[in-house]
Amino acid sequence: MDDIREHYVAWLRDAHAMEEQALTMMRGMLSRLENYPVLCARMEQHVAETERQAESLRKLLEGRDSGASVMKDTLGKATALGQALGGMFADDEVIKGVMASYTFEQMEVAAYKVLISTAAVLEDTTAIPVFEQNLAEEQDMADWLFDHLDQTTRIFLARDEAGLPARR
């Protein structure tokens, strides 16, 4: 059971780092979305959701991680996938940012699924609804990005055709 608990706390810490990183990447992207108001509004909503997710994970960690310097270890530690996607998020071209966002949301979905399974094994019943809510928000965001990929791409291409600054 000790080994399981160790994995659990490590995955919980990783999830918190993932959310902090999501905030950094989305805030950066938001500053470049002035020509995509629909996408911009949805991303602003998800930034608010993500702030709440990060806070909910921080609270869970407080009660479950015995290490005193938990948050010091966690903050600023990018996940490997996040590092790989960082360049795409930072790219001026909004299409690359949307593809990176979609991929990141899918990783978040998987991370919460793993946490739900592990919490179930450990009978940590109070944590499960937190993970379930976060998972639902990630899935909704992934679905929204996918459903709007056609619209976003067409806006991008139309701006390019019209000679407008297409990279934004």
Binding site for Fe ion (CB under 5 A): 105, 108, 138
Termini Cα distance of the chain: 51
Which helix H or strand E contains 32, and what residues bound it? none
- 95 backbone φψ class: left, alpha, beta (φ>0; ψ -120 to 50): alpha
Q: Which of 53, 74, 118, 152 binds Mg ion (CB under 5 A)?
A: 53
Q: Which residue's CB is nearer to Fe ion, number 12 or number 166?
A: 12
> Greatest CA span in the chain, whole angstroms?
62
Residue whose CB is nearest to Fe ion in the complex, by number = 138
Cβ-based burial of 14 (10 A; exposed 0-12, middle 13-18, buried ≥19) = middle
Alpha carbon 65 to chain centroid, angstroms: 22
Task: Kindly state whether residue 152 participates in binding Mg ion, applying the rule CB under 5 A.
Answer: no
Q: Which residue's CB is nearer to Fe ion, number 108 or number 124?
A: 108
Q: Which of 21, 50, 74, 79 binds Mg ion (CB under 5 A)?
A: 50
Residues of this chain, 2-41, that bind Mg ion according to CB under 5 A: 19
Q: In terms of Cα–Cα distance, which of 20, 8, 91, 5 is closest to 53?
A: 20
Residues in contact with Mg ion, counted by CB under 5 A, come to a total of 4
Q: Which residue's CB is nearer to Fe ion, number 48 or number 157?
A: 48
Closest separation in Å from C-beta 141 to Mg ion: 8
Partner whose footprint covers residue 53, from Fe ion, Mg ion, none (CB < 5 to 8 Å by kind): Mg ion
Q: Which of 20, 65, 108, 124 binds Mg ion (CB under 5 A)?
A: 108
CA distance 50 to 32: 19
Partner whose footprint covers residue 56, from Fe ion, Mg ion, none (CB < 5 to 8 Å by kind): none
Give the interface segment with Mg ion, choosing from 9-17, 62-70, 85-93, 103-111 (CB under 5 A).
Answer: 103-111
Q: Is 124 helix (H, G, I), strand (E, B) or coil?
A: coil
Supply 72's token pair: 């010091």
Q: Is 123 helix (H, G, I), strand (E, B) or coil?
A: coil
Interacting residue ranges for Mg ion, rule: CB under 5 A: 19, 50, 53, 108
